[in-house]
Amino acid sequence: MASAHGRRRRVALPWPMRLRLCVFEAAIDATQRRDGSVNRFLFSLFDRRATADPRPDAAGVSSTDITVDASRGLWARVFYSPSPSPRPVVVYFHGGGFTLFSAASRTYDALCRTLCVAAGAVVVSVDYRLAPEHRAPAAYDDGEAVLRYLGATGLPDHVGPVDVSTCFVVGDSAGGNIAHHVAQRWTATTTTTTTTHNPVVHLAGVILIQPCFSGEERTESERALDGVAPVLNTRRSDLSWKAFLPEGADRNHPAAHVVTGDDDAELHEAFPPAMVVVGGLDPLQDWDRRYAAMLRRKGKAARVVEFPEAIHAFYFFPEFLANDHRKLVGEIRAFVEECITSKQPTA
């Protein structure tokens, strides 16, 4: 098991990537205020956006934007490629400490295009409301709203046929936290009856990429990697939770503290199989392994995929970390295929 426990060593990274990381960290630090608020104009200078494009890219992927609920500014970007047969749906929640980025951010536009090809799926990237303007549970509410929209309204005809009964909820970092809570809430409230006019969105799997869970406790990996690993440290993490959690709540709030010593997290019988991606140089790794262990204790299938030398948000840098990026894409493809196969009835 890869772990940072007992280590305080320098993280070895290529210098061009270190330069990118310095700019990335400077942008976060400059825009996060001590009270948890965000200077959105300043961050917009760093956060390059991509527009939806119906023209296929080199991999054959097109994109279009849909409005889910205009009253709350909720929309999503849909990534698709031609297919005569119904494809599974991946509902994606981007990271950014609950406060930053968008479904239109170039990094996430590129990542979702990759997932579209890797999973052979239509990807619906949710532009959920950000904190601190919209604290928890707003992002969870938005995630549920998108699933209801898929079941009731569906996607534009030009996207092609989709199978909403084979849906995967996926997220990275803060988006991984959102993906868990959306899956937890959805499986606790939906029925299993499907009709032609009202297809039920069935969750076939959950993929959490370095998800953000926390508590008032500081884990060994958080202590060992604080100030050593790039991107995420306790100060940035605490500011994100301060912005996201309800006013006056601490990190033992159920939104953050999913894994408790008493194993309190409630999971419905229908909670789907999960894949949890863990980075060996990510301060969150202890929380992520505890989460997977909690799922297993509750009788849920949980696959842990370890990346021993991966920093938090390593998937932002495929040009520098090509091997890990290929492995991540391959693991997601294998997990999706396995979940689809296990869902099919036996002869």
- Catalytic positions: 173, 282, 312
**Residues near 291 by beta carbon (within 8 Å), at least 6 away in sequence:** 180, 208, 211, 213, 258, 259, 276
Amino acid letter, residue 278 = V
Neighbours of 33 (CB within 10 A): 12
Note whether 55 and 62 are within 8 A (CB): yes
3-class secondary structure for 2-69? CCCCCCCCCCCCCHHHHHHHHHHHHHHHHHECCCCCECHHHHHCCCCECCCCCCCCCCCCEEEEEEEE
Structure-token pair, residue 324: 């890990």
The DSSP secondary-structure symbol of 121 reads S
CA of residue 268 relative to chain centroid, distance: 20
Residues contacting 135, CB < 8 A, separation 6+: 243, 244, 245, 246, 247
Rounded to an integer, what distance in angstroms lies between the CA atom of residue 71 and that of residue 84?
34
The torsion angles phi and psi of 2, rounded to 5 degrees, stand at -70, 140
Contacts for 330 with CB less than 8 Å, ≥ 6 apart: 118
- Is residue 155 within 8 A of residue 77, CB to CB? The reply is no
User: Could you give the count of Cα atoms lying within 13 Å of 300 in the half-sphere of its Cβ?
Assistant: 25
Distances (CA, A) of 107 to 30, 104, 111, 250: 20, 8, 6, 31
CA gap 331, 53 in Å, rounded: 28
